Structure 1
Amino acid sequence: MKILIPVMLAVLGAGAGAGAGYLVPLDPSHLPLAHATEGETAIEMLDNHTEPTKIVKLSNQFIIPVIEDDGESALVIMSLSLEVTVEKSQSVFDLEPRLRDGIMKVLFDHSSHGGFSGRYYSEDKMAVLRKYLLQSAQDIMGGGVQGVLITDLVRQAA
């Protein structure tokens, strides 16, 4: 009798799962994926820009502490590049101190909200980070910034 109840629950759960699987459409475009919207938006943004762009690597890495309840638990080391229109490429170097300051604000905020904890490299967390990094760079440089590329990212335990 003790074994009968767990077996019945397992059969009932398997039946419910099979029924739900039968009712879900097989076309993946109907599935609600959180990162699909971000990816489609990024593709649409790239398609809308016909100006030639240039990738400009920021000169130094960014080092961000990851603070948890018991204090500093890790460091995140990151390298970034900006995709800018050709006429704005020199402006990246001229405005790099302001860009680094704005980017550091975004990175510290992301870290303080747990963005670099757990599965920090998940597509959802990375899409949010890229969005705010792009917004910060555009606020400083204007409309010439097309994208932010995370070229290196490592988390090192403290």
Structure 2
Amino acid sequence: MKKLILPIILMLVGVGGGVGAGLALMPEPEEELAANACVDGDDSEIMLEHSEPDPEPVSLETREYARMNNQFVVPVVVNDRVTALMVMSLSIEVEAGGQEAVFSHEPRLRDAFLQVMFDHANIGGFNGAFTASSNMRILREALQASADEVMRGHITDVLIVDIVRQDVTN
């Protein structure tokens, strides 16, 4: 019984410290941030305008997301040997009402996306720091271009939802 007291006390102190740190580091609600940004009405509009990350606001009602049904599995081949497997999940952003069109073209989209991913793997895009912003940008742009080719402009974006690399031991 005495052996269990110290681990229980340490666990409670750790949990309490984690909760306390979470509460202390919690971000301010957006209303308070906007109120604290400026006192003048005109200045607050300017401040809020410049704090927006996307200069072109996108209405949520005008966009839908179609998640591709299955994950994509891409082998990474080095010296004629499979050294890793990349597993990716994608979602497609379309204009409102466009999900059905994505699902009806899913086999062609999957084929086009797999070809892009195989090409990306063959040029070494999944080696090393494969999640570096430059590598991910190249992959996203290629996926978007292939989606535009299949759907002729109905797809507004291709989102990489999950990406995992599993190294293979031989």
User: What band does the TM-score fall into relative to the shorter chain?
Assistant: 0.5 to 0.7
- Structure with larger RCO (C-alpha < 8 A, sep 6+): 1
* Unpaired stretches in structure 1, ≥5 consecutive residues: 1-42
Give, as a single letter, the amino acid of the residue that structure 2 aligns with 1:144. H
Per-residue deviation, residues 94-151 of structure 1 (Å, max 9, x unmatched): 0000000000000000000000000000000000000000110111011111111111
Whole-angstrom CA distance in 1 between matches of 2:144 and 2:58: 15
Q: Which residue of 1 aligns with 2:74?
A: 64
* Unpaired stretches in structure 2, ≥5 consecutive residues: 1-53
The number of equivalent residue pairs is 114
| TM-score (normalizing by structure 2) | 0.63
| TM-score (normalizing by structure 1) | 0.68
Whole-angstrom CA distance in 1 between matches of 2:57 and 2:123: 32
| Aligned residues: CA RMSD | 1.7
Q: Which residue of 2 aligns with 1:96?
A: 106
Whole-angstrom CA distance in 1 between matches of 2:145 and 2:58: 16
| Larger Rg computed on CA atoms | 2
Whole-angstrom CA distance in 1 between matches of 2:153 and 2:58: 11
Equivalent residue runs for 1:1-158 within 5 Å? 47=56, 52-69=62-79, 71-158=81-168
Q: Which residue of 1 aligns with 2:51?
A: none
Whole-angstrom CA distance in 1 between matches of 2:153 and 2:127: 32
Native 8 Å contact 2:73 2:86 kept in 1: yes
Runs of 4+ in 1 over 6 A off after TM superposition: 48-51
**How much does 1:87 deviate?**
3.0
